[in-house]
C-alpha cells in the first residue's frame, strides 16, 4: 500500500503552542489559545476551502477505556463527513464471521490478553486499504508503538487527539457501562442510559456488562492502557500533531474539538447540532 502525502506540522498540544506554555489567563481545560481565538469558526477563504476539500484528512483519537472516545468520534464523523473506523467494531465483525483474523483475536480476548500487534495491524491495514479515497478517523488503533510504526508506512497523520480523564472518573464510568454485543453500542447508567433498563434501544436485545468492565478488573485495564499508550502519545507529541483535551463532560470539550477539525476540513454540520 503506497504511502500517502505528507501533512503540515501543527502545534504540539492543546496546553502548549510552539513549545511555549500558554498564559494562565488564557487557559481553558482542553483548549489552546489558538483554538479559543478561532471561536466562532469563520468560513475559510475560497482558495483554502478548495485545498481543504482536496486533501484527505487522516486523524486518530486516543484515550483510555471509558474516556468517551465513541461519543466524540460519532460527533466528529457526523459533523465533518469522516469515516469512523473503530478497531473494536472490526474485531467484533471478524469474530462473528469466524474469519482467520477473528479466530486469532478471539483466542487472545478469551485469555484476557490484548490482541497481538500483528493481528490487529493486519486487520486495520486491510480496512484502510479499502478506504484510500475517504477521509477517516481511527478509533482504537494504533494502541502500541509497533502499531503506530506500521501506520507510518502507509500515511502521515494530520491530527491526533487524546482525551485525558481523571482515574476515579474512569473507574466509575466503566463500572456503570453496559454494551449491546452485536453492534457494540455502549450505554452508561448515569449519563447515557437505555430507554428500558437492560435492553438495547434499537434492537430490544439484552445488554451485558463486560467482564473487564466490572470494578475488580477496571484498575488493571487502566494501568495497562497507561503503560502501552505512553510511547504512542510521546511519538505524536514529538511530531507536533497531538492535541490533548481534559475534562469529564463531552459537551464541554466538544466546541474545541470541533474548532480544531474545522481548521483542517470543512464542516458539513454546525457544532450547535449537539
34 is in an annotated binding site: no
25 is in an annotated binding site: no
96 is in an annotated binding site: no
142 is in an annotated binding site: yes
Take residue 66 and report the three cell numbers written for it.
471509558
69 is in an annotated binding site: yes
177 is in an annotated binding site: yes
250 is in an annotated binding site: yes
Q: How far apart are CA 12 and CA 16, in angstroms?
A: 7
HSE of 107, CA atoms in CB hemisphere, 13 A: 9
141 is in an annotated binding site: yes
92 is in an annotated binding site: yes
Q: How far apart are CA 76 and CA 273, in angstroms?
A: 11
115 is in an annotated binding site: yes
221 is in an annotated binding site: yes
133 is in an annotated binding site: no
Take residue 110 and report the three cell numbers written for it.
478469551
58 is in an annotated binding site: no
63 is in an annotated binding site: no
Q: How far apart are CA 122 and CA 125, in angstroms?
A: 5
Tell me the binding residues. Answer: 66-71, 87, 92, 113-115, 140-143, 147, 177, 186-187, 221, 250
Tell me the binding residues for AMP. Answer: 87, 92, 113-115, 140-143, 147, 221
Tell me the binding residues for a ribonucleoside 5'-triphosphate. Answer: 66-71, 177, 186-187, 250
Amino acid at each position: 500500500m503506497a504511502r500517502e502525502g505528507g501533512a503540515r506540522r501543527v502545534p504540539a498540544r492543546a496546553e502548549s503552542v510552539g513549545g511555549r506554555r500558554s498564559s494562565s489567563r488564557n487557559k481553558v481545560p482542553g483548549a489552546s489559545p489558538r483554538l479559543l481565538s478561532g471561536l466562532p469558526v469563520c468560513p475559510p477563504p475560497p482558495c483554502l476551502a478548495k485545498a481543504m476539500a482536496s486533501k484527505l484528512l487522516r486523524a486518530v483519537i486516543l484515550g483510555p477505556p471509558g474516556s468517551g472516545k465513541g461519543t466524540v468520534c460519532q460527533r466528529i464523523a457526523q459533523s465533518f463527513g469522516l469515516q469512523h473506523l473503530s478497531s473494536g467494531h472490526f474485531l467484533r465483525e471478524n469474530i462473528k464471521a469466524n474469519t482467520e483474523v477473528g479466530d486469532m483475536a478471539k483466542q487472545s480476548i478469551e485469555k484476557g490478553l490484548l490482541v497481538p500487534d500483528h493481528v490487529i495491524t493486519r486487520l486495520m491495514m486491510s480496512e484502510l486499504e479499502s478506504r484510500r479515497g475517504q477521509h477517516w478517523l481511527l478509533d482504537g488503533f494504533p494502541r502500541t508503538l509497533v502499531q503506530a510504526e506500521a501506520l507510518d508506512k502507509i500515511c502521515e497523520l494530520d491530527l491526533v487527539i487524546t482525551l485525558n480523564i481523571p482515574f476515579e472518573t474512569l473507574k466509575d464510568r466503566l463500572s456503570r457501562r453496559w454494551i449491546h454485543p452485536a453492534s457494540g453500542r455502549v450505554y452508561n447508567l448515569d449519563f447515557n442510559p437505555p430507554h428500558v433498563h437492560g435492553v438495547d434501544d434499537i434492537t430490544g436485545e439484552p445488554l451485558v456488562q463486560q467482564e473487564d468492565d466490572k470494578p475488580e478488573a477496571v484498575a488493571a485495564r487502566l494501568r495497562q492502557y497507561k503503560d502501552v499508550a505512553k510511547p504512542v502519545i510521546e511519538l505524536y507529541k514529538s511530531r507536533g500533531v497531538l492535541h490533548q483535551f481534559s475534562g469529564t463532560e463531552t459537551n464541554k470539550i466538544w466546541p474545541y474539538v470541533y474548532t480544531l477539525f474545522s481548521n483542517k476540513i470543512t464542516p458539513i454540520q454546525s457544532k450547535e447540532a449537539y
